[in-house]
Structure 1
Amino acid sequence: MKKGFTWRKLFNDIHLWLGLASGLVLFVVCLTGTIFTFHTEIEEMLEPEKYKVEVPANAVALSPDVLIGQLQAAQKGKVTALQIPQDPAKPYRLTLKKGEGGKGGKPEGAKAKTGEGPKAEAAGPVAGKGGKGGKGGPGGGRGTTYLVNQYTGEVKGTTEGPAHGFFEAVEGLHRTLLVKRESGELNPGKIIVGASTIIFVFIILTGLVIWFPKKLKNWKQGLKVKTSGNWKRINHDLHNSLGFYSSFLLLIMALTGLCWSFDWYRQGASAVLGDQIFKQRSEKPMTSDLAAISNQKPGLSQLIQTTNGLLPYEGNYRITLPADSAAAVVLSKTQSGFFALSAADKVQLDQYTGQPLKVEKFADKKWNEKVAASVKALHLGDIFGTFSKIIYFICCLIATSLPITGTLIWWNKLKKKSKQQQVPTRPAVTSPAVSQV
């Protein structure tokens, strides 16, 4: 006798068939997301000769202006950005674009194409990293990031390397399944990943409905794994319990990840939040006072000192240098530490006078603005520093296992159902007397 319709059965069927349809893609996306979580730490660990500097006894770093001048003279280019870590044992990172600012380069008043716009931000989690000459050849794209010893001025290398190349491939697999298309063309890999992510959202929601017990007194069963059971029971409990524990963060990862997959989704989410997602890089710097152009410019050390007065805490700096003679200097500062919030405070200073033009503190933003500004950090898992990255790593590892454990549950039920259908019906037993009649 067939069972009648129930909402629980409907959700179970939706959960099952959506999982089977997208399981392979979700396995790849979750696995690459797991691997990518600690990509920065792994790169630095594999190449310590580049990512560590020896701190001298009297640790006094050279002026950022001196380091910039030396690199520009050696590489015949223009430094567009500078990263100063709080950790004195880590080198400075200078992003340089060749063919600009040096011999044969563009004049200072010419606006440089930095590749940092809405499309660059939407391109992926590591859109701010430059490769050799940037993407598009020497002098194009985002430029090359050099690692410079701040105490000696020695160039230790660039961020390029085997580990960096590996994680670029991992990111490409995560976002587009390594399918490449020219700029402006629809990428089928990106669409497949985005569609699978939408499916994943429904899988999570239907999974939560299925997890909720029929009888409230049995709710504890869904929170633990019965290790004393057979492997089928253990597999079922792993899928059921671990899926529940990780569901909230997986939902955040999926909903934020869609901001890279579809423009319509990002625009819709921005409308719901009341603030534009990825607007940081589309915002143009404020205008410096051109009347003071004849005055002597303050050095970066002085600008950093001014910013420290406005943002009185230790942290990491990312400084975006003016692209032309009118733009302001933009200094972003983030806290560092195991539980440190990754959100940046931003200060814009006049490049001629050093006067503050705009101060944006993350703590002063409205709730919706904080969420919109934190989409990237929420997706990558570094919203609360190393602590949240560890949590995200575990959740991504669980997410990678869910397609496997879910498929095994379906396969076991399929075999059980097949065996039940193959059981022969026993013939009716008749007595000899009856048969003789």
Structure 2
Amino acid sequence: MSFRRIIFWSHLSVGVAVGLIVFLLSATGVLLTYERQMLDSAEIRLSPEAMTGERLTVDELAAIAQQDGAQTQRSLVFHRDPARPVEISAGRGNTSLIHPYTGEPVESAAGPMQDFFRAVTSLHRYLAMSGEARETGAAITGAANLAFLFILVSGFYLWWPKAWRWSFIKLNVFFRTHLPSAKARDYNWHHVFGIWALVPLLAVVISGVVISYPWAANLVTRAYGEAPSSQRGPGPGPGGNADSREQELPPLQQTAALQDMFETARMSGRHWRTVTVALPTTPSAPSVEVTVDTGNGAQYDRKHLLTFDRSDGGLLTDVVVAQTQTPARRARIYLRFLHTGEVYGWWGQTLAGLGSLAALFLVWTGLALAWRRLVLPVWRKRRS
């Protein structure tokens, strides 16, 4: 058996084995394409009647956000749209809204849509499994994604012609009409969708492998000459971390207004979309960090981190958030949002979504061709 036939049968066998899981991953990927924009558009906007009087200052909003006295890291997120409520973020998935004029809690209008996308994400990552079964679901989806990578690479090898002729291009690069049979149509569609969607699908699948498997993430880390996190030395001991140093400092006698720091960040000349003020967790915290986001929230090279002296409000540093990370960490963050296309904005999301849509046709036509090759002949022979 020739090497090409070995690749062909491997391509076919793996495709049949994981086809349904890849179809599910692709369908949920299409549904998640514009999740960020849809959640943003569904969020509540304040009416003009509710926006009368003076807005509360950042310091007043911070006092409301921290009135329970919990020593957890919280942030105030301000949107450029003045009708958007202020967000109180206490970590991923723990966000509440507050009225910027009254300080009263505001119920999110995107709750039902958030529940929908949360269910689709669970299906995409864990096959909707919960509890301890989530690890099993993640293992299945991760293996299917890795198998899909083999299918893409082997499919490109099988697609590549020995000689470039117009007859090959006409049949395998462009859609044809008036084909003699459904088999010929599926053959044409399988090749055309595969070659046009190859690049975005490789980006989505390779980044998915890095997300799913620690060994793949470690390969990225080692490629930048850094040691994986499991091989790094222990962190600072007691009294050597930032939090303990903060607690050892005496309380500041005078603190600058958070409102002034917010205004400085807001008027920094950047066309910002959100400004996030990280609230100090201890009275002795010497500085305040304010993040100005000019992108969509997933583009770390468009986030600027401003650090202010808490005693007088002076600007200490102004750096791009991506520059505060190591090269390996930046690469992994890039791959995380390359998986959704968000790292390139809406057009990157569109390409990722179109790639997922093309994958649906690849699975459908591939299984149809496999059915005609493997099952139909046996079925017809038994029937005859």
Length-normalised TM-score, structure 2: 0.80
Q: Deviations over 1:313-362 (max 9, x none)?
A: 4332233323334474332222147x988742323334334344544326
In structure 2, distance between residues paired with 1:276 and 1:256: 20
Q: CA RMSD in A?
A: 3.8
Secondary structure of 1:90 counterpart? coil
Secondary structure of 1:258 counterpart? helix
Could you tell me which of 206, 217, 220 is aligned with 2:154?
206
Q: What is the Cα deviation at residue 420 of structure 1?
A: 8.8
Q: What is the Cα deviation at residue 170 of structure 1?
A: 1.4
Secondary structure of 2:277 counterpart? strand
Secondary structure of 2:275 counterpart? strand
1:208-223 equivalent positions in 2, closer than 5 A: 208-217=156-165, 218-223=168-173
Secondary structure of 2:28 counterpart? helix
Q: What is the Cα deviation at residue 364 of structure 1?
A: 6.0
CA change 1:363–1:94 in 2 (3 A) is closer
CA change 1:234–1:89 in 2 (3 A) is farther
Is 2:262 aligned against 1:304? yes
Q: What is the Cα deviation at residue 55 of structure 1?
A: 5.2
Is the contact made by 1:334 and 1:342 (CA closer than 8 Å) also made in structure 2? no
Secondary structure of 1:187 counterpart? helix
Secondary structure of 1:314 counterpart? coil
Using CA pairs under 8 Å that are at least 6 residues apart, name the structure with larger relative contact order, 1 or 2.
2
Corresponding position of 2:144: 196
Q: Deviations over 1:50-96 (max 9, x none)?
A: 522235788974322222323444x7767712222223333221125
Corresponding position of 2:350: 390
In structure 2, distance between residues paired with 1:387 and 1:85: 22
Q: What is the Cα deviation at residue 181 of structure 1?
A: 3.6
Is the contact made by 1:79 and 1:94 (CA closer than 8 Å) also made in structure 2? no
Corresponding position of 1:31: 27
Secondary structure of 1:360 counterpart? strand
In structure 1, distance between residues paired with 2:88 and 2:134: 33
Is the contact made by 1:318 and 1:331 (CA closer than 8 Å) also made in structure 2? yes
Amino acid at match of 1:314: W
Tell me which moved more, 255-264 or 364-373. Answer: 364-373
Corresponding position of 1:348: 307
Corresponding position of 1:123: none
CA change 1:59–1:147 in 2 (3 A) is same
CA change 1:223–1:341 in 2 (3 A) is farther
CA change 1:244–1:272 in 2 (3 A) is same
Could you tell me which of 192, 208, 216 is aligned with 1:241?
192
Could you tell me which of 8, 13, 16 is aligned with 1:12?
8
Is 2:362 aligned against 1:412? no
Corresponding position of 2:333: 373
Q: What is the Cα deviation at residue 308 of structure 1?
A: 4.7
In structure 2, distance between residues paired with 1:240 and 1:342: 37
CA change 1:405–1:285 in 2 (3 A) is farther
Is the contact made by 2:87 and 2:96 (CA closer than 8 Å) also made in structure 1? yes
Percent identical among aligned pairs is: 22
Corresponding position of 2:273: 315
Corresponding position of 1:136: none
Q: What is the Cα deviation at residue 19 of structure 1?
A: 1.0
Is the contact made by 2:47 and 2:83 (CA closer than 8 Å) also made in structure 1? yes
In structure 2, distance between residues paired with 1:400 and 1:331: 43
Secondary structure of 1:146 counterpart? strand
Q: What is the Cα deviation at residue 382 of structure 1?
A: 1.1
Q: Which has more helix, going by share of residues?
A: 2
Is 2:127 aligned against 1:153? no
Corresponding position of 1:428: none
Corresponding position of 1:82: 76
Amino acid at match of 2:146: I
In structure 2, distance between residues paired with 1:355 and 1:289: 22
Tell me which moved more, 269-278 or 27-36. Answer: 269-278
Is 2:327 aligned against 1:329? no
In structure 1, distance between residues paired with 2:290 and 2:327: 23
Corresponding position of 1:138: none
CA change 1:400–1:154 in 2 (3 A) is farther
Q: What is the Cα deviation at residue 369 of structure 1?
A: 6.1
In structure 1, distance between residues paired with 2:263 and 2:319: 17
Amino acid at match of 1:243: G
* Unpaired stretches in structure 1, ≥5 consecutive residues: 97-113, 115-127, 131-144, 425-437
Amino acid at match of 2:307: Q
Is the contact made by 2:261 and 2:313 (CA closer than 8 Å) also made in structure 1? yes
Is the contact made by 1:342 and 1:382 (CA closer than 8 Å) also made in structure 2? no
Amino acid at match of 2:126: T
In structure 2, distance between residues paired with 1:309 and 1:156: 27
In structure 2, distance between residues paired with 1:275 and 1:85: 37
* Unpaired stretches in structure 2, ≥5 consecutive residues: 230-234
Is the contact made by 2:295 and 2:303 (CA closer than 8 Å) also made in structure 1? no
Q: What is the Cα deviation at residue 258 of structure 1?
A: 2.6
Is the contact made by 1:277 and 1:373 (CA closer than 8 Å) also made in structure 2? no
In structure 2, distance between residues paired with 1:234 and 1:60: 65
Amino acid at match of 2:158: I
Q: Deviations over 1:182-230 (max 9, x none)?
A: 5xx9812111111111111111111111221232112353221112213
